[in-house]
């Protein structure tokens, strides 16, 4: 069953949120993710949009590969239909003076950066110990427009680290609605994959 998780900003507008999180929630979130440093986990696509049909049923892995007090890098590996692996994506989470930042490091197989790389956003609210949301930032909006991807200028990314599960989600508001969500089983580590491209 697909679980649609709405951004906290939307929940507040609609009056569904009943509790406020403490800024300490971001420290707790960071600690929870850091606890998995060095480990890899298998996952799967759980959203059902036609745009992601090539990923449906394919093996996936996330690897909490690099951790420091300031930054955590999580490569995201996807097996292709021919059995080879796409190792082009790394989620980069960084502590900032005002919260947390998520960027997407996209590389070609030779290690060179993709034209669409290092986009993302900063937290706009404290979030919770289990989930943080990252609305698209101005730098990324400019990149999307320059690369002909204006449909992405309302992106909100969400990362969850809950008991037994890690999830990454992209949600986009109308008129260019989009939902992409992958979930990983934190109770069953898998062998660490090779380094992502360019790393």
- pLDDT tens track for 34-55: 999 999 999 999 999 999 999 9
Token pair recorded at residue 112: 């060179």
Q: What is the pLDDT of residues 104-154, one digit of tens each?
A: 999 999 999 999 999 999 999 999 999 999 999 999 999 999 999 999 999
Cα-based distances in Å from 94 to 56, 79, 88, 162, 187: 30, 27, 19, 19, 25
Query: Which CATH number is 39-189's, of 1.10.1060, 2.40.128, 2.30.30, 3.40.50?
Result: 2.40.128
The pair of three-digit structure tokens given for residue 39, joined into one six-digit string: 């480990």
Domain ranges of the chain: 39-189
């Amino acid at each position: 069953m697909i679980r649609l998780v709405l951004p906290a900003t939307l929940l507040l507008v609609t009056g569904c949120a009943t509790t406020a999180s403490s800024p300490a929630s971001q420290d707790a979130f960071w600690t929870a993710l850091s606890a998995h440093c060095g480990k890899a986990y298998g996952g799967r696509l759980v959203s059902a949009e036609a745009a992601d049909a090539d990923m449906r049923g394919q093996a996936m892995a996330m690897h909490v590969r690099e951790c420091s007090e300031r930054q955590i890098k999580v490569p995201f590996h996807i097996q292709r239909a021919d059995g080879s692996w796409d190792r082009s994506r790394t989620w980069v989470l960084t502590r900032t003076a005002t919260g947390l930042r998520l960027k997407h490091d996209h590389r070609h197989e030779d290690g060179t950066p993709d034209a669409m790389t290092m986009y993302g956003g900063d937290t706009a609210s404290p979030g919770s110990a289990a989930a943080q949301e990252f609305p698209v930032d101005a730098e990324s909006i400019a990149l999307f427009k320059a690369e002909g991807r204006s449909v992405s200028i309302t992106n909100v990314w969400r990362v969850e680290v809950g008991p037994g599960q890690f999830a990454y989600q992209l949600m986009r508001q109308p008129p260019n609605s989009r939902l992409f969500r992958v979930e990983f089983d934190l109770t069953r580590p898998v062998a660490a994959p090779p380094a992502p491209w360019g790393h």
